[in-house]
Structure 1
Amino acid sequence: MNGGRLVRLADLPLQPWKNGGGVTSELAIDPAGAGADSFRWRISLARIDADGPFSAFPGITRWITLIEGGGFTLDFADGHRLDVPQPFVPHRFDGGLAAFCRLKGGPSRDLNVMARAGLAMDVRVIAAGADAPPEGHALVRADGALVRLDATRLLQAVCR
């Protein structure tokens, strides 16, 4: 992922979640200017301050990666449970399922990647090389983003 535009994460504006239950900062969206119901893929940072419902995104595959805080559990309407206890591990799930979030130890921040079902999106944590964006930044390209997680790791999200 060479080229692209460097984005300072702290400069991203806050916007309400689709369900109004929290706030998120959109890092990248395809196509540019798409809304919550019309994007192909989207990458955002979210703050979870209290237990509550997650927004449902029918027809969307989601990956959620804890980046700060004590973690959380998602309880889905179909009885499935997703435990997110440690940072920097992407977890994939069906974004169309209703889910309730329970925090484990206070507020948390997470990185979300969402893609239309059937779209080939590769989401993984990789080692930061010499060409990695600096801490607190992301490199956004037409096909995805590299997000600096800490001194040694990046989250790579690429639409193939």
Structure 2
Amino acid sequence: MDGMIVRRIDSIAPEPWRNGGGMTRAVAQHGDDWRVSIAEVESDGPYSRFDDIARISLVLRGHGVVLRHDDDTVLLKRFEAVEYDGGAA
């Protein structure tokens, strides 16, 4: 197993979201198996889908996020980890 590397968050280049509504910084990852990232939501808009991926989100600051599509709603509250289907629209 490789050792841990500690870096300042501002040293990790931000990547724009596919939908243009925010930025993300990949903090840790293992190929396509898993990834931990810190995201900044900049505007409302469609959520990026990741088929066949279970997502777990945790809001660190702000008032939370509501994900809606038809009758499905996922409420992301501050400091509460929530798992949901990454392939949902």
TM-score (norm 1): 0.50
Q: Residue 29 of structure 1 corresponds to which residue in structure 2?
A: 29
| Deviation for aligned residue 1:72 | 1.5
Amino acid at match of 2:58: T
Taking CA–CA contacts closer than 8 Å with sequence separation of 6 or more, which of the two structures ends up with the larger relative contact order?
A: 1
Counterpart Cα distance in 2 of 1:20 and 1:97:
18
Size of the aligned set, in residue pairs, is 87
Matched, 1:90 2:81: yes
Amino acid at match of 1:96: G
SS of corresponding position for 1:52: coil
| Deviation for aligned residue 1:4 | 1.5
More strand by share: 1
Amino acid at match of 2:80: V
Question: Which ranges in structure 2 are unaligned for 5 or more consecutive residues?
Answer: none
SS of corresponding position for 2:10: helix
Matched, 1:70 2:63: yes
Amino acid at match of 2:24: T
Counterpart Cα distance in 2 of 1:21 and 1:88:
22
Encode CA deviations 1:60-81: one digit per residue, 9 max, x unaligned. Answer: 000000001111111135x221
Picking from 59, 75, 81, the partner of 2:73 is: 81
Runs of 4 or more above 3 Å deviation: none
CA RMSD of aligned residues (A): 1.5
Q: Residue 5 of structure 2 corresponds to which residue in structure 1?
A: 5
Q: Name which of structure 1's ranges 61-70 and 8-17 shifts more when overlaid on structure 2.
A: 8-17
Percent of matched pairs sharing the same residue: 33
Counterpart Cα distance in 2 of 1:76 and 1:8:
36
| Deviation for aligned residue 1:10 | 2.5
